[in-house]
Amino acid sequence: MSKVHNFSAGPGILPLEVLKQSADACINFDNMNLSLLEISHRSKNYEAVMDESRSLVKELFEVGDDYEVLYLGGGASMQFAMVPYNLLTEAGHAAYVNTGVWASKAIKEAKIVGNTKVIASSEDKNFNYIPKGYEIPKNADYLHITSNNTIYGTQMKSFPKTDIPMVCDMSSDIFSRKINAKDFSLIYAGAQKNMGPAGSTMIMVKKDVLGKTGRKMLSMLDYNVHIKGGSMYNTPPVFPIYVTMLTLRWLKQHGGVAWIEKINQQKADLLYNEIDRNSQFVGTTAKEDRSNMNACFLLNKPEHEAEFDKLWKSANIDGIRGHRDVGGYRASMYNALPLESVQALVDVMKAFEQKFA
């Protein structure tokens, strides 16, 4: 396999050893001489996969049995609806911070479920920074934030302090850095950015926030129903969960979040230093809020785009084209992306400067 430097924003890069093991399991899972894709999710062998996938999340987040872990279908977008449906009371209200496209979509769903207030927003500057210094209502049912804004390339470097339950969409930076997970009542993440393939979404929820809405709940949208069913109330996305388990195992075996955080910082420093140094590029976000996962940048002279594109393509780089809403370039540096790939991009940027400065 020729080496492609994969900067895709999502679904994103996975460790090669995980891909190989996953491929093997499609033919012969656990030496059963059966494919993982053709056995019952209730089989002993698959139950072990589900158990390990759930317990690895708690282990990596360092939380106890007051939390439950679920893997559900429907993507992170389904959680935009399930979160308010399960946490927002008839008489109460929810507080949201709007930091981009995904947060806006979460707000849209919450407004349909109940009283929803946007307490801070960075929409005034096309979401190129993280709002700070806003007041969090003490009586809201919960606060909803987005830790990393995949499209705009901003990231919360610290989290709000509040006594109300805090809910976070961590789809694009989960397990990329040390956080204090116990500060959150609910964390969710679509797996396909930083923890596995598309098709399953991880939800980690503190049990004490559930069951308070008074709402008559649809079963499939009720976290408690899924908790009671051990995340197998219905057939779970068996293969995505398996690949996620392997990815989390890979992370743990190499030294966990503390290990990857250092590498992620090295990658981000390498690229942002070049964006700032190089006369041909400019970053698009406030420096203090720059995402270590998704780096967005523009060419100073957009008329040279075709030449730049030719250079990075010939260096086996893929996936750095910016989101259609932002334009320019976006290099996503998820956990599985090696430092060498960032170096390859930086080398191309230097060569480009040589040619056009």
Ligand X SMILES: *Cc1c(COP(=O)(O)O)cnc(C)c1O
Number of neighbours of residue 3 by Cβ within 10 angstroms: 11
Stretch that binds ligand X, among 54-62, 130-138, 166-174, 296-304 (CB under 6 A): 166-174
When asked if residue 146 is in the footprint of ligand X (CB under 6 A), the reply is yes
Nearer to ligand X, 29 or 175 (CB): 175
**What are 68's strand-pairing partners?**
205
How far is Cα 151 from Cα 171, in angstroms, rounded to an integer?
Answer: 12
* 102 in active site: yes
User: Using CB atoms within 10 A of its CB, is residue 162 exposed (0-12), middle (13-18) or buried (19+)?
Assistant: middle
Among residues 75, 319, 327, 338, which is the contact residue for ligand X, using CB under 6 A? 75
The smaller minimum CB distance to ligand X, of residues 171 and 213, is found at 171
Tell me: does residue 193 bind ligand X (CB under 6 A).
yes
Q: Does 172 bind ligand X (CB under 6 A)?
A: yes
171 is an interface residue for ligand X by CB under 6 A: yes
- 58 is known as an active-site residue: no
Q: Which is nearer to ligand X, 6 or 150 (CB)?
A: 150
Q: In which residue are the tokens 């849209």 written? A: 108
Q: Quote the least distance from Cβ 75 to ligand X, whole Å.
A: 3
Measured between alpha carbons, how far is 74 from 115 in angstroms, rounded to an integer? 24
Cα dist from 35 to 12, 30, 43, 62, 243, whole Å: 24, 9, 13, 33, 14
Distance separating the N- and C-terminal Cα atoms of the chain: 35
DSSP string, 104-169: HHHHHHHHHHSEEEEEEE-GGGTT-S---SPPPPTT-SEEEEESEETTTTEE-SS----SS-EEEE
Nearer to ligand X, 67 or 188 (CB): 188
Q: Are 99 and 131 in contact (CB under 8 A)?
A: yes
Q: For residue 58, what is the enclosing H or E element?
A: helix 44-61
**Minimum distance of ligand X from residue 193's CB (angstroms):** 5
Residue among 74 and 92 whose Cβ is closer to ligand X: 74
Query: Which range binds ligand X by CB under 6 A, 75-83, 134-142, 279-287, 320-328?
Result: 75-83
Scanning 135-143, 160-168, 169-177, 207-215 for contacts with ligand X by CB under 6 A, the matching segment is 169-177
Euclidean distance between CA atoms 124 and 227, whole angstroms: 40
Which residue in the list 173, 193, 267, 289 is annotated as catalytic?
A: 193
Judged by beta carbon, residue 76 or residue 299, the one nearer ligand X is: 76
Strands 281-283 and 294-299, by their bridges, are antiparallel
Catalytic residue (choose from 141, 169, 222, 289): 169
Does the footprint of ligand X cover residue 190 (CB under 6 A)? yes
Site string for ligand X, 5-44 (x = CB under 6 A): -----x----------------------------------
Closest residue to ligand X using C-beta atoms:
75
Q: How far is the CB of 92 from ligand X (least distance, A)?
A: 24
Query: With the C-alpha atoms ordered 76, 80, 85, 87, is the resulting torsion angle positive or negative?
Result: positive
Residues near ligand X (CB under 6 A): 10, 75-77, 102, 146, 150, 169, 171-172, 190, 193
